[in-house]
Amino acid sequence: MKVRIAPSILASDFGRLAEQVVEAEEAGVDWIHVDVMDGHFVPNITIGPAITEAVRRATRLPVDVHLMIEAPDRYIQAFADAGADYLTVHQEACPHLHRTIQRIRAAGVRPGVALNPATPVEAAAPILPDIDLLLVMSVNPGFGGQAFIPSALATLTRARELLNACGGEDTALEVDGGIDATTAPGVAGAGADVLVAGSAIYGHPQGVAAGVSAIRTAVETPGG
Catalytic positions: 35, 176
Q: Does 175 bind ligand DX5 (CB under 6 A)?
A: no
* Nearer CB in complex with ligand DX5: 33/103: 33
Write out the binding residues for ligand DX5, residues 16-35 only, by CB under 6 A: 33, 35
Nearer to ligand DX5, 62 or 99 (CB): 62
Burial classification of residue 185, based on how many CB atoms lie within 10 Å of its CB (0-12 exposed, 13-18 middle, 19 or more buried): middle
Residue from 111, 178, 186, 211 in contact with ligand DX5 (CB under 6 A): 178
Least separation in angstroms between residue 153's CB and Zn ion is 18
Min dist. Cβ of residue 138 to ligand DX5 (A):
8
Among residues 46 and 171, whose Cβ is nearest to ligand DX5? 46
Applying the rule CB under 6 A, the residues between 73 and 132 that interact with ligand DX5 are: none
CB of 149 to Zn ion, least distance (A): 14
**Beta carbon nearer to ligand DX5, 121 or 139:** 139
Interface ranges with ligand DX5 (CB under 6 A): 8, 10-11, 33, 35, 66, 139, 141-146, 176-179, 196-200
